[in-house]
Amino acid sequence: MDATLRANAESLRALVASSQVSPVAFRAAVERVPLGERDAWLDCVFGLDALPDDGPELPQGCVPYLPSSVDVLLRVVDRARVRADDVFVDIGAGLGRAAALVHLATGAAARGVEVQPALVRAARALSARLNLPRLSFVEGDARARGDTWVNGSVFFLYCPFSGERLARVLTDLERVARARPIRVCCVDVPLPPSTWLTLASPPSRDLAIYRSARE
């Protein structure tokens, strides 16, 4: 990333931390950055360094942490129609990058659930660094932390796990869907057939947006 983009990112970080950037302005700032530079630029805005190594707390069957691209996250925002009155929940939140971007680009409250303590600490530090009180993170196995997302309306899964763990999380999400319409956004994770979910996005090789049947 060249010096101009780095300076732009650092300037935007300061504006975000002082609550001087609206969702519209943040989205516009992202879109002004060339496509191939957006991920590195966003990491600079967020003050994120190299990816950390996964710790021993990562359960067997879970995918090592890998951040989702800016391009995918903007498509999630658009195709799931994330609004300021939504609550965005990132299941397997890692460093908090996806939750932070969606929050800043839409105004929606955002919450992350992450099993690795070191990543949770880094995500909370990100929230503090950018002064984002509506961005929060909880530590724990997603199978046992369904209590943390009962008020969620948009759920994001970037290939965090499969098998029994995924089935358990979907059961918890179905309970939420009985109370309110929700959207489930999946990147590189095929969901098993579910009568309560309907595919709502156009065909895509990496992203699928589902809506609960009540919506």
Q: Which residues of 28-66 are buried (b: 16+ CB within 10 A; e: fewer)?
A: ebbeebeeeebbbbbbbbbebeeeeebeeeeeeebeebe
Token pair, residue 140, equals 């724990």
Three-state secondary structure of 79-100? HCCCCCCCEEEEECCCCCHHHH
Mean pLDDT throughout 116-129?
A: 93
pLDDT tens profile 46-75: 999 876 655 565 555 555 567 789 999 999
Q: Looking at residue 168, what is its pLDDT?
A: 85
**Selection from 46-55, 128-137, 179-188 with the highest mean pLDDT:** 128-137
Q: Which of 49-53, 168-172, 197-201, 204-208 has the lowest mean pLDDT?
A: 49-53
Mean pLDDT throughout 128-133?
A: 97
Q: Is 145 exposed, middle or buried (0-12, 13-18, 19+ CB in 10 A)?
A: middle
pTM: 0.91
Token pair, residue 44, equals 């600079």
Residues 6+ apart with CB under 8 A from 37: 1, 5
Token pair, residue 21, equals 């950037």
Q: Is 136 exposed, middle or buried (0-12, 13-18, 19+ CB in 10 A)?
A: middle
Please state, rounded to an integer, the average pLDDT across all residues of the chain.
88
Tell me the pLDDT band of 160, cut-offs 50, 70 and 90.
low
Tell me the pLDDT band of 99, cut-offs 50, 70 and 90.
very high
